[in-house]
A and B are shown apart, each in its own frame.
Chain A
Amino acid sequence: MFRYLVRRILWAVVLFVAVTMVSFVIFFIVPVEPARLIAGPQAPPDAVERAKKAYHLDDPVWKQYLRFMKTLVVDGSLGKSLATRQRVNDVVRAAAPVTISLVIGGAILWMLVAVPIGILSALKPRSLLDRAAMVFVLVGISAHPVWIGLILSYFVGYKLQLTPLGGYCDLINPSTDCGGPIDWFHSMILPWITFMLLFSALYVRMIRANVLETLNEDYVRTARAKGAPESQVMRSHVLRNALLPVVTMLGMDIGLALGGAIFTETVFGLPGLGKVAVEALTGFDLPIVMGITVFATLAIIVFNLAVDLLYAVIDPRIRLS
Chain B
Amino acid sequence: MADDLLVVEDLQKYFPITRGIIFQKQVAAVQAVDGISFSVKAGETLGVVGESGCGKSTMARCIMRLLDPTGGKVVFDGRDITNLSRAQMRPIRREMMMIFQDPYASLNARKRVGFIVAEALEVHKLGTDAEVKRRVQELLEVVGLNPEHYNRFPHEFSGGQRQRIGVARALAVNPKLIVCDEPVSALDVSVQAQILNLLKDLQEDFGLTYVFIAHDLNVVRHISDRVMVMYLGKVVELAERDRIYAEPKHPYTGALLSAVPIPNPEAGRLRKPVVLEGDVPSPINPPSACRFHPRCPRFHEGHCDVEEPPLYSFSNGHVAACHYPLERWPLTAEEFRTSRDGPTKAKATAEAEA
A10 touches B19 (CB 8 A): no
Chain B residues 1-53 with CB under 8 Å of chain A are 19-22
B19 touches A3 (CB 8 A): yes
List A contacts of B20 (CB < 8 A).
3
List A contacts of B21 (CB < 8 A).
3, 6-7, 10
Rounded to whole angstroms, the CA-CA distance of A3 and B18 in the bound complex is 12
Interface Cβ pair total, 8 Å cutoff: 8
Query: Chain A: which residue is nearest B20 at the CB level?
Result: A3
List A contacts of B22 (CB < 8 A).
7, 10
Interface bin, chain A: under 10
Rounded to whole angstroms, the CA-CA distance of A3 and B21 in the bound complex is 6
Rounded to whole angstroms, the CA-CA distance of A3 and B22 in the bound complex is 9
Query: Chain B: which residue is nearest A7 at the CB level?
Result: B21
Rounded to whole angstroms, the CA-CA distance of A7 and B19 in the bound complex is 11
Q: Taking the nearest CB of chain B, how far is it from the CB of A14, in angstroms?
A: 10
Q: Taking the nearest CB of chain B, how far is it from the CB of A255, in angstroms?
A: 24
Count chain A CB atoms within 10 A of each CB in B19, B20, B21, B22 and give the residue with the most. B21
Rounded to whole angstroms, the CA-CA distance of A212 and B333 in the bound complex is 50
List A contacts of B19 (CB < 8 A).
3
List B contacts of A7 (CB < 8 A).
21-22
Rounded to whole angstroms, the CA-CA distance of A6 and B20 in the bound complex is 10
List B contacts of A10 (CB < 8 A).
21-22
Q: What mask results when residues 1 to 41 of chain A are scored 1 for a CB within 8 Å of chain B, else 0?
A: 00100110010000000000000000000000000000000
List B contacts of A3 (CB < 8 A).
19-21
Q: Taking the nearest CB of chain A, how far is it from the CB of B28, in angstroms?
A: 15
Query: Chain B: which residue is nearest A9 at the CB level?
Result: B21
Chain B residues 73-106 with CB under 8 Å of chain A are none
Chain A residues 116-146 with CB under 8 Å of chain B are none
Q: What mask results when residues 274 to 309 of chain B are scored 1 for a CB within 8 Å of chain A, else 0?
A: 000000000000000000000000000000000000
Chain A to chain B contacts (Cβ below 8 Å), 8 pairs: A3-B19, A3-B20, A3-B21, A6-B21, A7-B21, A7-B22, A10-B21, A10-B22
Where the two chains meet, the residues of A that have a C-beta atom closer than 8 Å to any C-beta of B are 3, 6-7, 10
Q: A3-B21, A7-B22 are in contact. List 6 more A-B contacts (CB 8 A).
A: A3-B19, A3-B20, A6-B21, A7-B21, A10-B21, A10-B22
